[in-house]
Amino acid sequence: MFGFFHRLTGREKMTVLLGGTFVLSLLLYGLVLAPALEKRDRWVSMAKRKKQELSRFEDLTARYRNLEWTIASMEKELGSRKKGFSLLAQLEAGARRLGLQENIASMKPLRNQLDSGIEESSVEIRLEKVDLGGLVRFLQEVEGEESLVRTRRLRIKSRFDDPQLLDVTLLVSTLEAN
């Protein structure tokens, strides 16, 4: 084969060498370089995905710790509540303090057993002929700053006989330890 190469002219040798170099470089690229670059791109994209997953995991961890802290503080507050706490009685007392006891049309207590020995106590209360200021004061009284009482549903309708007055139905809930 080298004898064949020696019989070629200088120009032909240069053409064969350039052609061989081109074919060798194509083989090198196709068999070595392209797969290596493809593998590197896969690793880079996998690293990006893992960074995103790590970021989501860190966010979830922070949310979980925050929820744990919230649960612990709620359990502490539930434990510090007086024995015999009654949401119904608290709502009545709040309405009495604000002078709204005559506006109470009905109060319907509800109970729901939750996991881990905690019970949800709810009261559906209907107020009639109450003005907006009185409703706001009642909601502030019920949901106080340190209270675990929350208004879960609120339905307000204005009255036909006096549009300044409202008929209100609200569902108020709290948690109680068994």
The residues facing 110 across adjacent strands are 122
pLDDT confidence of residue 13: 82
pLDDT confidence of residue 1: 60
| CATH of residue 119 | 3.30.70.60
pLDDT confidence of residue 103: 82
pLDDT in tens, 134-160: 888 888 888 876 667 888 888 988 888
Q: Is the pTM of this model over 0.75?
A: no
The percentage of the chain sitting over the pLDDT mark of 90, rounded to a whole number, equals 21
Q: Do 32 and 97 fall into the same domain?
A: no
Domains identified in the chain, total number: 2
| Non-local CB neighbours of 38 within 8 Å, separated by 6+ positions | none
Judged by DSSP in three states, 84 sits in coil
pLDDT in tens, 65-119: 999 888 787 777 766 666 667 777 778 888 888 888 888 888 888 887 776 667 7
Given 48, 78, 108, the domain boundary residue is 78
Q: Do 173 and 93 fall into the same domain?
A: yes
Q: Do 71 and 104 fall into the same domain?
A: no
Sheet of 118-130, strand order: 104-113, 118-130, 166-177, 150-158
Token output for 12: 């032909």
Q: Do 67 and 110 fall into the same domain?
A: no
DSSP 152: E
Q: What mean pLDDT value characterizes the chain? A: 84
Q: Do 64 and 19 fall into the same domain?
A: yes
The domain in which residue 58 lies consists of 2-78
Given 78, 95, 127, the domain boundary residue is 78
Q: Do 10 and 69 fall into the same domain?
A: yes
pLDDT confidence of residue 136: 87
State the alpha helices, DSSP H only, in the chain: 2-6, 10-28, 34-80, 87-97, 132-142
CA atoms within 13 A of residue 14's CA, in its CB half-sphere: 3
pLDDT confidence of residue 84: 64
Q: Do 70 and 132 fall into the same domain?
A: no
pLDDT confidence of residue 50: 95
Q: Do 29 and 55 fall into the same domain?
A: yes
Q: Do 121 and 91 fall into the same domain?
A: yes
Helix, strand, coil abundance in the chain, percent, nearest 5: 60, 25, 15
Q: Do 91 and 157 fall into the same domain?
A: yes
Q: Do 70 and 148 fall into the same domain?
A: no
* Cβ count within 10 A of residue 70: 10
| Non-local CB neighbours of 19 within 8 Å, separated by 6+ positions | none
pLDDT confidence of residue 97: 85
Query: Has residue 45 got a pLDDT over 90?
Result: yes
pLDDT confidence of residue 82: 65
Report residue 9: phi and psi, to 5°.
-75, 170
pLDDT confidence of residue 147: 67
Q: Do 173 and 98 fall into the same domain?
A: yes
Given 78, 112, 133, the domain boundary residue is 78
